[in-house]
A and B are shown apart, each in its own frame.
Chain A
Amino acid sequence: MSIYKCLQSGIQQGFSHLRLAFYLWAIFLVISVITVIPLISLIGKNLGHSLLGQPVAMPFELNLVEIFLNHQALLGPYLSLLLVFALFLAIFSFFLNGGLFGRVLSAEKTNLRDFLADGTRFFWRFFLSGLAFIPFFLILLISYRILVSPLNLWTEKAVTEWPLIIASNLKLILFLLLWTIFRLSLDLVRIILVKEGDRVIPSLRATFLFLRRHFFRFWSLFLWLGLVYLLITLVFFFLGKLFSSQQLAGLIMLIILGQAQIFFRVFFRIVFISAESCYYMMYR
């Protein structure tokens, strides 16, 4: 019952923080536009005045691949650009998460100023919590290696392809499940950091004390949320298949649908945090 309540509360909170979702969507849009511009200009420069399909008809995707292959010398500089942005975003994410958690867990209405203020306020503590979780990430990897070893033994002795296909997908699912545990623990630390105003180490201790008592129910809440997210994403995916980019209306619909999916992704991050927070507040 409490899981259902928290799910409901999470979604309600998500809707009450639509503005926050919009800020995040806009920030990621700007970052993405900046990093995708070199690719788009490359396409525009090469195909902007091209008669596709003439003189040699090729699927459009192959035209794109051909352009990228012809400019493979640019790959190195472009990857360097992406790396710089990735490093920037890695640091910037602590700020964004600070603003996100701060606003979601606050009772007040969201505005840009408060979002930025929260980002600044929690940046350092979120950064430290990220560092503190590195050992747990290593534990996650080691656990994964141990858990998949029976699957490896199974595939080593396989006489058909089936064990390979099944095992590789089971490994993927296993990794995702372990990742959810890691993720929910990190979220919980940050919720406690914001809610209780604690420092990182006490928050960590409080997190593990809480998880010791409520791990499975808390994890099931997280998995339910994940399932809902996955199902709705699939709906986007299937809706996308209904439209063709060959026609103008279809193209416009696809663009809208794509951005709606991104917005939904950000929105659901808020739902996750709200639901987790709801559960924590209920049982702390």
Chain B
Amino acid sequence: MKKNLVFLFSYLFLILFDCGLLPPLVASTEERPIKYEISVELLPETQMIKARETITWTNLTRDYVPDLQLHLYWNAFKNELSTLAREARRENLFRRYRPKKDRWGWIKILSLTTAEGGDLINNSSFISPDEPYNPDDETVLRVELPEPLAPGQAIQLNLEFQGKVPANGLRTGVYRDGYFISQWFPKPGVYEEGKGWNCHEYHLNSEFFADFADFLVRITVPQNFVVGACGEEVDRHLDPKNGKATYTYRQDNIHDFAWTASPRFLKIERWFRGDEEVTPEEYQKMSELLGLPLEEVKLHDVKMILLIEKQHRKQVERHFKALRAALKYYGLWYGPYPYRTITMVDPPFRTGSGGMEYPTLFTAGTSVLAPAQVLSPEGVIIHEFGHNYWYGMVANNEFEEAWLDEGINTYSTGRVAARAYGPGQLPLRFNGLPLNWFIRLPSTYDWQTDRLFISAITRLDPIVNPSWKFYNSGSYSLNVYMRASTCLNTLERLLGEKTWARVMRTFQQRYRFKHPKTEDFISVVNEVSGKDLSWFFEEFFWSTKDFDYGISLVQSQLKPGKQSGVFEPALPGSFPVQKEQKSDQERPDKKISKKIYQSTVIVRRYGEARVSPEEKIKLKVVFTDGSVEWREWDGQGRWARFEFEKPARIKQALLDPDGVWLLDSNLANNSYTEKGPVARIVSASTNLLWLMQNFWLTLSSLL
């Protein structure tokens, strides 16, 4: 009976939860500038959407605001003249985004009125706020208001719009009856006090930026479609007569809204229970590490919703396991996930929408052939979920400082994956078949592959750079994701686990539901660590300098027994005499009679970047007699020489022996040993030779 009562209460709780009657977990401590109410219908026969939208925008600044600027992102897919198309063509990527059969995507506002009925459609025009100016881009609409909006004043806009779902969209799209709908509704930019609107065009190498808002969205689709969306489903209305269903979703305090619909989805729900996933010992350890009360590190229960393509049904458990790991570790390190649901979407086939984040919803992506030893889809699940922290809650401007979410989240992904899974094998494929089936590929941690790409960076751009101003997509992603992540891994090693954990926690908590900038991150690092690390960011985030310290010379020579030359005589006043002077080791009056070696280590700064003089680069020198000498170098000059006089030769020399400076673009020159890894080099050389023999034989056999 008791068991039944517990079950009954749990059931009631679930019903209340599902109906949205319980108070939200996300505290509404701050007034948000926007409220959206949208009713949208999907029209599969034309692959279009039609919608009504009410935007209530409140001027929370001290400025008088004369206009509103709205993103109309789908116009990026409207023609070959949009900024996106021009940028894609510049990088020879246009074929990837050009829709087949000219099924271009677009969005058109049919009516735009104020609550009082004033028509604003004639007061609106497309603008191109970014450089270079593109008069043909239609992704930013400026709407002139009848009169400037005073501080604290609100305006309600009523819109009707239609959109054609892009066929070969970027992050959004349709293939047959599978839809992923994102960046789909007219959305105001962010008004910055004293600066005006921050509302960028849709760029190839950029994601997004928007204000926190409360959403209520009704989605009408054919009845056989399975739907997933941001936030909580609070109502469902079936209309069997018309064969349609309307789903209502609500979510406060998010800055974007995406949804998906397909008849080929399986929808599975599970619960993440904080007290089951984390042991009391883990809570205790985290509480001590962060210096926070136990209650502050406890995790909430979260409803996990998975929409997965039927072809991937065998991977349901892998998806949930990865999401549980992400909820656990992000929650423990950066603070509990504050929303009540998280929706994970295995995106509809060929919609080009995989691996993307939206608040409380993300897309992953997998393959029907996914070997267990390769962390895919796990890596992408952890990463895209992590964006709920870095982008979702700490909502930086992705157009202008993408590293703040991508870099921090790439770093975080690597940490979670390492903790939950250990290293994963490289995900290489041939003809759709995993190469892991045939050959043993190396297992790596993310930080290892991330730092590897530093070497590949053409050093054309700094990490902090507007996304559309990077040299190309490669430079953008290598800098913003990999190099930034490596910088953070370096900082972690530099400051130590405890300090670093507190830095990250503080930054997340202080800027939750805000729009921080790079300077805010630096302030937190300096404040929590008690050190001025501004130089680190100057050197590695705002510059393109290469960082490479290395050992250039190691030698040990026997100290000569006799010193030739002219020496001052013992008696004062006598002339100097030419003779041979015996060294200490040969003087009979000295007890020391063993061999003495004069050893030298020369270290060099090969790159332009350098450490702060206070940080010092350590040098560890091990001698053949087992003794160890430590030296420090401020690393400011181009080189430094260290000399030793000992009764043993140098066996090993190690620069940065603790492996702090992961940013070093060439680790091979950070160590020296007399013998070297002969077996490894022989093995690699013979493998290369074998590959070359096969290559030439194949070429010859063709003729």
A34's closest neighbor in chain B, by CB? Answer: B692
Residues of B close to A54: CB separation below 8 A: 654, 657, 659, 671
Give chain B nearest CB distance to A29 CB in angstroms: 7
Looking at the complex, which one of B264, B452, B666, B701 makes contact with A159 (CB distance below 8 Å)?
B264
Contacts of B690 in A (CB 8 A): 258-259, 261-262
- Give the nearest-CB partner of B683 in chain A: A245
Instruction: Digitize B295-307: 1 where CB-to-A-CB distance is under 8 Å, 0 elsewhere.
Output: 0000000000000
Stretch of A10-18, A42-50, A102-110, A198-206 contacting B (4+ beta carbons < 8 Å): A42-50
Contact assessment for B681 and A248 in the assembled complex, using a CB-CB cutoff below 8 Å? no
Q: Which of A90-98, A114-122, A144-152, A212-220 contacts B (4 or more CB under 8 A)?
A: A90-98
Given A28-B697, A265-B697, A59 contacting B703 (CB threshold 8 A)? no
Residues on the A chain within 8 Å of B526, using CB: none
Cα A234 to Cα B677 in complex, Å, equals 30
Q: Which residues of chain B are near A55, meaning CB under 8 Å?
A: 654-659, 667, 670-671
Output the least CB separation between A168 and chain B (Å): 5
Is A262's CB under 8 angstroms from B694's CB? yes
* CA distance in complex: A50, B669 (Å): 7
Judge whether A65 is part of the interface by a CB distance below 8 angstroms. Answer: yes
**B176 close to chain A: CB less than 8 A:** yes
Residues in A67-97 with C-beta less than 8 Å from chain B: 67, 69-70, 72, 85-86, 89-90, 93-94, 96-97
Do B672 and A49 touch across chains, with their CB atoms under 8 A apart? yes
Give Cα A262–Cα B690 distance, bound, in whole angstroms.
8
Complex CA gap A97/B667 in Å reads 46
Q: How far is the CA of A216 from the CA of B367 in the complex (A)?
A: 39
The contact of A40 among B659, B667, B670, B685, by CB within 8 Å, is B685
Of all chain A residues, the one with the shortest Cβ separation from B686 is: A255
A32-B689, A46-B669, A262-B693 are known contacts. Are A168 and B442 too (CB-CB below 8 A)? Answer: no
| Assembled-state Cα–Cα distance A245/B432 (Å) | 29
Return the chain A residue nearest B311 by Cβ: A160
Cα–Cα, bound, A85→B693 (Å): 13
CB pair A35 B658 closer than 8 Å = no
Residues on A with C-beta less than 8 A from B697 are 28, 262, 265-266
Q: Which residues of A contact B442 (CB under 8 A)?
A: 59-62
User: Which B residues between 335 and 384 are near A, CB-CB below 8 angstroms?
Assistant: 349, 367-369
Answer whether A51 and B652 are a contact pair too, CB < 8 Å, given A64-B684, A254-B683.
yes
> Which residue from B311, B656, B657, B671 sits with its C-beta under 8 Å from A162?
B311
Contact, CB under 8 Å: A28 / B176: no
Contact B455 A47 (CB under 8 A): no
Interface string of B71-89 (1 = CB under 8 A from A): 0000000000000000000
Contact between A169 and B432, CB atoms less than 8 A apart: yes
Contact bitstring B619-658, A, C-beta under 8 A = 1, else 0: 0000000000000000000000000000000001011111
Q: B696 in the interface, Cβ–Cβ < 8 Å?
A: yes
Set of chain B residues within 8 Å of A35, measured between Cβ atoms = 692, 696
In the complex, A31 has a CB within 8 A of chain B: yes
Q: Are B367 and A161 in contact (CB under 8 A)?
A: yes
Which residue of B443, B659, B669, B692 is within 8 Å of A36 (Cβ)?
A: B692
Which residues of the partner chain A approach B686 to less than 8 Å between Cβ atoms? 254-255, 258
The reply to whether the CB of B699 lies closer than 8 angstroms to some CB of chain A is: yes
In the bound complex, how far is the Cα of B652 from the Cα of A172, in angstroms? 51
Q: Find out whether the CB atom of B369 lies under 8 angstroms from the CB atom of A165.
A: yes
* A176 lies within 8 A of chain B by Cβ: no
Bound: A170/B274 CA distance, A: 49
For chains A and B in complex, what number of residue pairs have CB atoms within 8 angstroms? 181
Which of B264, B449, B687, B693 counts the most chain A CB atoms within 10 A? B693
Q: Which residues of B contact A248 (CB under 8 A)?
A: 679
B509 interface residue, CB < 8 Å from A? no
Q: Which residue of B lies closest to A183 (CB)?
A: B701
Q: Which residues of A contact B12 (CB under 8 A)?
A: none
With contact pairs A46-B669, A59-B444, A255-B686 given, residues A161 and B311 touching in the complex (Cβ less than 8 Å): yes
B6 at the interface (CB under 8 A from A): no
Per-residue 0/1 for A236-265: is the Cβ within 8 Å of any B Cβ (1 yes, 0 no)? 010001000110100100110011011001
User: How close is B628's CB to chain A, nearest CB, in angstroms?
Assistant: 14
> Would A165 and B676 be within 8 Å (CB), given that A55-B657, A56-B659 are in contact?
no
Q: How far is the CA of A211 from the CA of B685 in the complex (A)?
A: 45
Task: List which B409-454 residues lie within 8 A (CB) of chain A.
Answer: 431-433, 438, 440, 442-444, 448-449, 452
Of the candidates B433, B448, B656, B672, the one whose C-beta lies within 8 Å of that of A59 is: B448
Q: In the complex, A47 Cα to B676 Cα: how many Å?
A: 7
Distance (whole angstroms) from the CB of B678 to the closest CB of chain A: 9
Q: How far does the alpha carbon of A65 sit from the alpha carbon of B426 in the complex, in Å?
A: 13
Look across to chain B and name the residue whose beta carbon is closest to the beta carbon of A96: B700
Contacts of B701 in A (CB 8 A): 269
Chain B residues with CB under 8 A of A153: none
Question: A169, B431: Cβ atoms under 8 Å?
Answer: yes
- Of listed B676, B683, B692, B694, residue having the most chain A CB within 10 A: B692
User: Which residues does chain B contribute within 8 Å of A245, judged by CB atoms?
Assistant: 679-680, 683
In the complex, 18 of the A-B residue pairs with CB atoms within 8 angstroms, ordered by the A residue number, are A28-B693, A36-B689, A40-B688, A47-B668, A50-B668, A50-B669, A50-B673, A51-B673, A51-B677, A55-B654, A62-B449, A67-B668, A72-B456, A89-B696, A93-B699, A97-B703, A168-B432, A245-B683
Give A contacts to B, CB under 8 Å.
Answer: 28-29, 31-33, 35-36, 39-40, 43-44, 46-52, 54-67, 69-70, 72, 85-86, 89-90, 93-94, 96-97, 130, 158-162, 164-165, 168-169, 172, 237, 241, 245-246, 248, 251, 254-255, 258-259, 261-262, 265-266, 269
The 6 closest A-B pairs by CB, nearest first: A69-B455, A165-B432, A51-B671, A55-B659, A59-B442, A245-B683
